[in-house]
Structure 1
Amino acid sequence: MEDVADWIKTWTEDNWRAEVLAWIDMACEAYSIERIGPLQNGSSSIRAVHRRVPTASGLLYFKAVAPGQLFEPPVSAVAAALVPERLVMPLAINPERGWMLSPDYGATLDELATTPLMWARALGALGELQREVVDCEEALFDAGLQILDPARIPDEFNNALTLHASLPAGHPLGITTRDADHAFAAFKDIEEACAQLSAGAIPLSLEHGSFDRRRVFAPTDESNAPRILNLGDAHWAHPFASLARPVERMQIDFRTSADDPRIIQAIGAYLGAWSDYGSPDELYELVAPAIRISPLHTHETWLQLLAEADEPTMLRWAPMVLEPLASLASATA
Structure 2
Amino acid sequence: MRDLGTAVVDRGRYPDARTPWERESWRTAALGWVTDRLAGHGLRADGALEVRLRPWSVLVRVPVAGRTAVWFKANPPASAFEGPLTGALARWVPEHVLHPLAVDAARGWTLFPDGGDLFRAVLGRERVGPREWEALLRQYASMQYDLVAHAGEIERLGVPAARTSGLPAVFDRLLAGNTALGPDERARLDGLRPRLADWCAELASLGVPDTLDHADLHDGQLFRRSPGRFTFFDWGDAAVSHPFCSLRVTAERACERYGPHVLPRLLAAYLEPWTGDGRTAAELRRAAELAWRLSVLSRAAAWGRTFPGASDAGPGPGQAARRLLELTADPPFGAG
Q: State the shift of 1:99 in Å.
A: 1.3
Q: State the shift of 1:310 in Å.
A: 5.8
CA deviations 1:247-275 (Å, max 9, x no partner) are: 22122111x23xx1x22112211111212
Pairing 1:65–2:75 present: yes
Contact in 1 for aligned 2:211/2:242 (Cα 8 Å) = yes
2:7 aligns with none
* Pairs within 5 Å for 1:69-80: 69-80=79-90
- Other structure's SS at 1:236 match: strand
Separation in structure 1 between the aligned mates of residue 300 and residue 210 of structure 2, nearest angstrom: 19
Pairing 1:205–2:211 present: yes
Pairing 1:115–2:125 present: no
Contact in 2 for aligned 1:207/1:234 (Cα 8 Å) = yes
CA deviations 1:83-114 (Å, max 9, x no partner) are: 11111121111222221111112112222244
- Other structure's SS at 1:226 match: strand
Evaluate the alpha carbon distance shift between residue 311 and residue 67 of structure 1 in structure 2; reply closer, same or farther with a 3 A threshold: farther
- Other structure's SS at 2:225 match: coil
Q: CA RMSD in A?
A: 2.6
1:324 aligns with 323
1:168 aligns with none
Higher relative contact order (CA 8 A, sep 6+): 1
* Pairs within 5 Å for 1:225-240: 225-240=229-244
CA deviations 1:24-72 (Å, max 9, x no partner) are: 111101111122223223x432211211111122111111122321111
Contact in 2 for aligned 1:54/1:60 (Cα 8 Å) = yes
1:269 aligns with 269
**Of 20, 32, 35, which aligns to 1:22?**
32
* Pairs within 5 Å for 1:1-333: 4-6=16-18, 8=19, 10-41=20-51, 43-55=52-64, 56-113=66-123, 114-164=128-178, 173=179, 175=181, 178-220=184-226, 225-254=229-258, 256-257=259-260, 260=261, 262-277=262-277, 278=279, 280-307=281-308, 309=309, 311=311, 315-329=314-328
- Other structure's SS at 1:33 match: coil
Contact in 1 for aligned 2:62/2:72 (Cα 8 Å) = yes
- Other structure's SS at 2:325 match: helix
Q: State the shift of 1:155 in Å.
A: 3.0
Evaluate the alpha carbon distance shift between residue 34 and residue 163 of structure 1 in structure 2; reply closer, same or farther with a 3 A threshold: closer
TM-score normalized by structure 1? Answer: 0.85
- Other structure's SS at 1:53 match: strand
Evaluate the alpha carbon distance shift between residue 321 and residue 200 of structure 1 in structure 2; reply closer, same or farther with a 3 A threshold: same
Greater Cα offset, 323-332 or 48-57:
323-332
1:169 aligns with none
Separation in structure 2 between the aligned mates of residue 79 and residue 245 of structure 1, nearest angstrom: 21
Separation in structure 1 between the aligned mates of residue 297 and residue 264 of structure 2, nearest angstrom: 24
**Structure 1: tracts of 5 or more residues without a match:** 165-172
Greater Cα offset, 198-207 or 183-192:
183-192
Separation in structure 2 between the aligned mates of residue 316 and residue 133 of structure 1, nearest angstrom: 32
**Count of matched residue positions in the alignment of Structure 1 and Structure 2:** 314
CA deviations 1:211-259 (Å, max 9, x no partner) are: 0222222224x6x9522111111100001010111122122111x23xx
Q: State the shift of 1:305 in Å.
A: 1.5
Contact in 2 for aligned 1:79/1:140 (Cα 8 Å) = no
Evaluate the alpha carbon distance shift between residue 29 and residue 131 of structure 1 in structure 2; reply closer, same or farther with a 3 A threshold: same
TM-score normalized by structure 2? Answer: 0.85
Evaluate the alpha carbon distance shift between residue 270 and residue 310 of structure 1 in structure 2; reply closer, same or farther with a 3 A threshold: closer
Evaluate the alpha carbon distance shift between residue 239 and residue 38 of structure 1 in structure 2; reply closer, same or farther with a 3 A threshold: same
- Other structure's SS at 1:213 match: coil
1:170 aligns with none
Evaluate the alpha carbon distance shift between residue 87 and residue 154 of structure 1 in structure 2; reply closer, same or farther with a 3 A threshold: same
Evaluate the alpha carbon distance shift between residue 264 and residue 193 of structure 1 in structure 2; reply closer, same or farther with a 3 A threshold: same
Contact in 2 for aligned 1:162/1:180 (Cα 8 Å) = no
Percent of aligned positions that are identical: 23
Q: State the shift of 1:82 in Å.
A: 1.3
- The aligned amino acid for 1:288 is E
Separation in structure 1 between the aligned mates of residue 229 and residue 324 of structure 2, nearest angstrom: 36
**Structure 2: tracts of 5 or more residues without a match:** 1-10
- The aligned amino acid for 1:184 is D
Separation in structure 1 between the aligned mates of residue 291 and residue 113 of structure 2, nearest angstrom: 33
